[in-house]
Structure 1
């Protein structure tokens, strides 16, 4: 039996730290997500460095919908559905590149880089010149904006501005996009792979789950971080009222003493401290920008969880480097990221095994879908008045505050007919 929207509040009791696993496997919930969540939230598309020149484009997804993000002749950026207005066929099947126009290979309708319809074969004979091409361009996103080179878009014209949507999360985003004068760039190539599980389980883990590392990654990371293994690392957690989350570890663990990355990081630290202050100089960890953009700044990894069904999602993984770093440092960073966080990375395999097995149990089980999952770690121990870090802060590295706020915001999107503005949503429970 499918879950009704009116029943979701009983399934997501975030204020008690109780979540029903049925929300991860239900087909109706997934279909509603595509419209109520992915059809309204601000979603990450690409970074400036991925589309630097006019005509450059990158193919991605917003929820289940294919989208082209393209640099325009005037330097601006547009995003539109990768779906021909005639029969919905993709007009571009390349992952990225540079183009003046796109042509649908079904009937030949062609669109320029701005998405305008510029050619219809046999227009006079087939349409008697009655087709108004100006009305049949590619469907544009409602809003598009960027934060320090990170481009986001939404299909909802009523959504608040991007900066408001990101909120206090910008303080933490700055620690990896704006820590050096030259900023960052994303290296060419996207690693993609498929997981039999639900995208939310991965997104919530990156928002705030440091608790799994010492067990899940004991074989892969145990030797690298021997000094911190077996005890809770020094750190903290940030939870955003907008659903974002960040888990922080203080102190950098190096893999090899003579590694170019270690040397570069040590030399870079004074610059970072001058720009951002000592509190963010060696702040590592993992984060999620609600709903489905995540990353591991210390591992130079940025990723998007693309839903492909209630129990299937794709991981798109990017390597992030400092734009002005020496080439040997960039290559070392890319190699390190691939070996640890790539599809066959020694760390990534640990997580993928968990997510796949969880998805298998939910897909095949019945009783296991009826029990609540426990999200009560750190419940009631957060503060809004931390002396250093903005937002709701748990002063220890272990906790599930980011997960609770993630599902709180998810529930608001899923049960609201309009954009669920934070200042208009009724506050309840212990976590305001």
Structure 2
């Protein structure tokens, strides 16, 4: 029996400015089961971007929150999310990762479904009762809730959940800063980057909004940029971390690398400078100087609770991830950018993505190693029981390398698992 089984999941001591998280949260199968039930079955989860379904009939299939989903556009142009399971015997109806289809046919017994999931035909129809096809239970089931914000589509398995707009809350300000980089809209560029980590999913949540580890863990990347003539500006890593409510959090900061969204580096040459200057002038005319400068010169690592990360840094990445077990997670990531940007700007963007954010870049292997080492360290969790998430807790305005944004996640996580509005107790 675990001698620490009566420990709270999260402990806060506001007087001492201490915030502690039990390491059993990363290893306990019971915690994992509760997360499936109380987080991934009730929260809004990212499904995909509108640009992935350009034409009627386009579809992609994804596993979201443990469910197999078909995300498609029907012939009327309506976006749909269908459970990818045949109502007959349960086989996955669509076995392709993506494509274009006028209908979906289950290979097992040949039932055919329309783009809206409705049963159109089946072999041996005469053997079924009259009106069988009119029974809603004969159709592929629709996901209870499908809503979008600025081209980002989310699903929720809880029919009683609040609207997506209400759920996003204060995070919408930061999503707007990302989406307003484009006049003609954002688009996903290329395919999906997929990889796995032998680590708990919450470790990647923390890491993705952690400014504290950048200088030490990713020192090789910064050294690489320094070695490239014109690869850096003289801007420092400086900014703030914020709790956005509802479990969402962000760090917003300046950084020395080039940003196709508006921060030029001399490596990109005079042609690149002219393009960046024109982009910034356009944005200033559209939004005013304050917002235009924020779009151009501020980086953002944004968490939408529980597991959507938008990295608006030297490139733009949409990343989502789901636990397979307490110690295994699967990651899907997509590069994104404005539809209207030039070929040269797109090349800068993709180079930045591959160099730092891609699975083979400077950052991701470093992060995988760090998170897997944490998971291995949790073998000692009965004796070394607590993670500390206290940095910046005493400050009125925490810095981007403090941990206010992580505490935002953990408070909401604890509320959903335990029903507590604030973790109780004093850390030992």
Alignment correspondent of 1:214: 215
Indicate yes or no: 2:383 matched with 1:380: no
Alignment correspondent of 1:338: 354
Tell me by how many angstroms 1:199 deviates. Answer: 1.1
Output the TM-score relative to the length of structure 2: 0.86
Alignment correspondent of 1:258: 267
Distance 1:111 1:166, change over 3 A: same
Contact 2:50 2:152 in 1 (8 A): yes
Provide the secondary structure at the position in 1 that maps to 2:394: coil
Moved more, 196-205 or 264-273: 264-273
Output the TM-score relative to the length of structure 1: 0.85
Distance 1:267 1:352, change over 3 A: farther
Alpha-carbon distance in structure 1 between the residues aligned to 2:56 and 2:184: 21
Alignment correspondent of 2:262: none
Alpha-carbon distance in structure 2 between the residues aligned to 1:7 and 1:161: 36
Alignment correspondent of 1:73: 75
Contact 1:14 1:405 in 2 (8 A): no
After superposition, give the CA deviation of every residue in 1:367-392 in whole Å (9 maximum; x if it has no partner).
4675100000011323xxxxxxxxxx
After superposition, give the CA deviation of every residue in 1:333-363 in whole Å (9 maximum; x if it has no partner).
223312321111122111111112222333x
Contact 2:411 2:422 in 1 (8 A): no
Indicate yes or no: 2:303 matched with 1:267: no
Alpha-carbon distance in structure 2 between the residues aligned to 1:65 and 1:7: 32
Alignment correspondent of 1:307: 323
After superposition, give the CA deviation of every residue in 1:24-58 in whole Å (9 maximum; x if it has no partner).
12222212212211111011111111112111112
Alignment correspondent of 1:329: 345
After superposition, give the CA deviation of every residue in 1:121-175 in whole Å (9 maximum; x if it has no partner).
22333x4557455322222122111111111111111111111111111111111
Provide the secondary structure at the position in 2 that maps to 1:168: helix
Tell me by how many angstroms 1:86 deviates. Answer: 2.5
Contact 1:214 1:222 in 2 (8 A): no
Alpha-carbon distance in structure 1 between the residues aligned to 2:216 and 2:283: 32
Contact 1:2 1:27 in 2 (8 A): no
Alignment correspondent of 1:410: 413
The equivalent position to 1:236 in structure 2, one of 213, 234, 240, is 240
Alignment correspondent of 1:169: 171
Distance 1:7 1:171, change over 3 A: farther
Tell me by how many angstroms 1:22 deviates. Answer: 1.0
RMSD of aligned Cα (Å): 2.9
After superposition, where does 1:1-400 map in structure 2 within 5 Å? 10-13=8-11, 16-125=18-127, 127=128, 131-132=132-133, 133-207=135-209, 209-224=210-225, 233-251=237-255, 253-254=257-258, 257-259=266-268, 263=273, 264-274=275-285, 275=287, 276-298=291-313, 299-362=315-378, 365-367=379-381, 370-382=384-396, 394-400=397-403
Moved more, 154-163 or 73-82: 73-82
Alpha-carbon distance in structure 2 between the residues aligned to 1:360 and 1:371: 14
Distance 1:359 1:73, change over 3 A: same
Tell me by how many angstroms 1:225 deviates. Answer: 6.1
How many pairs align?
404
Tell me by how many angstroms 1:428 deviates. Answer: 7.6
Contact 1:3 1:28 in 2 (8 A): no
Provide the secondary structure at the position in 2 that maps to 1:358: helix
Listed as ranges, the gaps of 5+ residues in structure 1 are 383-393, 417-424
